[in-house]
Amino acid sequence: MRTLWFHQNIKEAVDAPRIHHQLYPMEVQYEYGVLQQVIDGLEAMGHKTSRYKDAGSIICALLKKSDAIYANADFRKGGDVYGI
């Protein structure tokens, strides 16, 4: 979504702070770095919020464009991407 809607490159998109809503428990969890105005806005709409104690989800991502395939490994876990 961040590459399509916000035109971020794959590293910016993967490294950005995350927000997650789970049906149970009925609350929005967020990572350190989410803007306070976003959290305040969610709470103003009636959402219960809490900050993750650790990292949220861990992902690796690929983005295919006409000239190349771009990849990024999530810094939250460590590791790297390799290609041929």
- pLDDT at residue 81, rounded to an integer: 81
Answer yes or no: is pLDDT of 11 > 60. yes
3-state DSSP: the chain helix, strand, coil percent, rounded to 5?
25, 25, 50
d(CA 49, CA 27): 6
The proportion of the chain whose per-residue pLDDT surpasses 70, expressed as a percent, equals: 95
Residue 25 neighbours by CB distance under 10 Å: 8
Q: Where does the pLDDT of residue 84 fall: very low under 50, low under 70, confident under 90, or very high at 90 and above? A: low
pLDDT one-digit tens code per residue, 26-45? 999 999 999 999 999 999 99
pLDDT one-digit tens code per residue, 41-73? 999 999 999 998 876 677 889 999 999 999 998
- pLDDT at residue 56, rounded to an integer: 67
Stated pTM of the model:
0.74
